[in-house]
Amino acid sequence: MAREFLARGYDATTMEHLAAAAGMTKSSIYHHVSSKEQLLQLAVSRALDALFAVLEEPPSTQGPAVDRLQHVVRRSAEVLDAQLPYVSLLLRIRGNTPVEREALDRRREFDARLSALVQSAIDQGGIRADLDPRLVTRLLFGMVNSVAEWYRPGGSTAAAEIADAVVTLALDGLRRTSD
Amino acid sequence: MAREFLARGYDATTMEHLAAAAGMTKSSIYHHVSSKEQLLQLAVSRALDALFAVLEEPPSTQGPAVDRLQHVVRRSAEVLDAQLPYVSLLLRIRGNTPVEREALDRRREFDARLSALVQSAIDQGGIRADLDPRLVTRLLFGMVNSVAEWYRPGGSTAAAEIADAVVTLALDGLRRTSD
């Protein structure tokens, strides 16, 4: 259903479209879900649950903050690969309905936890202290999320290569130092 | 007019809306432009012209490729600040009309020139050789372009601070090295 919402836009998608995509009649789909909005909630919750689950993984909670940050950045890129239509839908949410506003609240909570992790990494001396942690969080996840605009699972660039490149670029930068 | 397209979506915006936003009547706006599509072309050309102009600036054409790349990344972030509604509109183009397809072609040409610059910087040993130049280009400009989603001119984060942070993160990375 996420693909239907993405292809047509949420407003233009009807329960008939969603039923047809699921191989059901319009009356049978109502045995499973009560509304289009409930389907949107299921879809964006799938993306949000996967992202919050990353924060509970042991490498996200143990060890130096810079290593935890690196793990979260890498795993977020992997979630984007594994849950692409759901993450893409989440990234388009603008807050027009209660379901969308709740999703935006959870996105903000996720951003706040990442921002706190960036701050911890600064405090521990693991990452540079001359950049604003909220700005760093936005740029880091702006980079990760931008992958949703062009990435196609099974295409020429593998998910693991993207995750590696994001982590290398973000943590170590492009500039070649004397080596 | 870019703001009208952004607020309503291109398809839902009529010449009446555009005329009203410009303080004109519907008949008087047709003395200036022949169609909604021509207005879209003017808007996205403004963003594209500003981006291509960056590539012609002396610091983009002279000196080591890594310094040229740094200049282009910084100036692209500044163009985003100076031309925010036009760049935002450009980033939403999906190729549904001839004007949109022409804009996408110019975006691809811009990306190809950046990719060539990244390759030159690798060849000269200025940036690391272990990442695919096209992937690097996408991630770099995904990061720059993501700023359009939250940046507001005159807000709490100044354009110059964002441009500095993008360049520092991309070139030198977040990790604190022994210093």
Residues A49-72 pLDDT 10s: 999 999 999 999 999 999 999 999
**B90 in contact with A, Cβ within 8 Å:** no
Q: Residue A29: inside a domain, yes or no? A: no
Tell me whether residues B131 and A165 touch, CB distance under 8 A: yes
* A12 located within any domain: no
- Asked if residue A134 lies in contact with residue B142, where contact means CB atoms within 8 angstroms, the answer is no
Number of domains, chain A: 1
CB spacing of A169 vs B125 below 8 angstroms: no
Distance from CA of A67 to the nearest CA of B (A): 10
For the segment B126-167, what is each residue's pLDDT rounded down to a tens digit? 999 999 999 999 999 999 999 999 998 888 888 889 999 999
Q: Which two tokens stand for residue B41?
A: 């072309």
Phi, psi of A175 (to 5 degrees): -65, 135
For residue A2, pLDDT over 90 is answered with: no
pLDDT for A95 equals 84
Indicate the DSSP class of residue B68: H
Q: What is the domain range of residue B143?
A: 40-172
- CB-based contact A153:A81 (threshold 8 Å): yes
User: For the ranges A39-43, A159-163, B3-7, B113-117, which has the lowest average pLDDT?
Assistant: B3-7
| Proportion of chain A above pLDDT 90, given as a percent | 66
Is the pLDDT at A91 greater than 60? The verdict is yes
Tokens of B3: 């703001």
**For position A179, what pLDDT does the model report?**
52
Distance CA A108, CA B6 (A): 23
Within a domain: B58: yes
Enumerate the residues of chain B whose CB falls inside 8 A of the CB of residue A121.
Answer: 174
Q: Is the pLDDT of residue A178 over 80?
A: no
Give mean pLDDT, residues A21-42: 87
Contact B166, B141 (CB under 8 A): no
Q: How far is A110 from chain B (nearest CA, A)?
A: 16
> Average pLDDT, whole number, for chain A?
91
Residues of A whose CB is below 8 A from B174: 66, 69, 121, 127-128, 131, 136, 140, 170-171, 173
Say if B152 is an interface residue toward chain A (CB within 8 Å).
no
pTM: 0.89
A-chain CB neighbours of B139 within 8 Å are 143, 146-147, 165-166, 169
B138 and A147: CB-CB below 8 Å? yes
* Chain A CB within 8 Å of residue B170 CB: yes
CATH number assigned to the domain comprising residue B64: 1.10.357.10
Phi and psi dihedrals of A126, rounded to 5? -80, -30
Alpha-carbon gap, residue B118 to B69, rounded angstroms: 7
Task: Specify the higher pLDDT residue, A23 or B171.
Answer: B171
Tell me, what's the pLDDT at B179?
A: 52
To the nearest whole Å, the CA of A32 is away from the closest chain B CA by 32
Mark the ranges of chain B whose per-residue pLDDT is less than 70: 178-179
Distance CA B37, CA A14 (A): 28
A155 lies in a domain? yes
Residues ≥6 apart with Cβ < 8 Å to A66:
A121, A124, A126, A127, A171, B174, B175, B176
With respect to residue A104, please indicate whether it lies within any of the assigned structural domains: yes
Residue B113: inside a domain: yes
Interface pTM, i.e. ipTM: 0.88
Instruction: Confirm whether A124 is domain-assigned.
Output: yes
Beta carbons of B165 and A136 less than 8 Å apart: yes
Residue A1: per-residue pLDDT: 74
CB contacts of A176 in chain B (<8 Å) are 66, 125-129
Beta-carbon separation of A175 and B127 below 8 A: yes
B130 touches chain A (CB under 8 A): yes
Stretch A102-129: mean pLDDT? 95
The whole-number pLDDT of residue B47 equals: 96
Tell me the residue type at A105.
D
Least CB-CB distance to A142: which of B136, B142, B157? B142
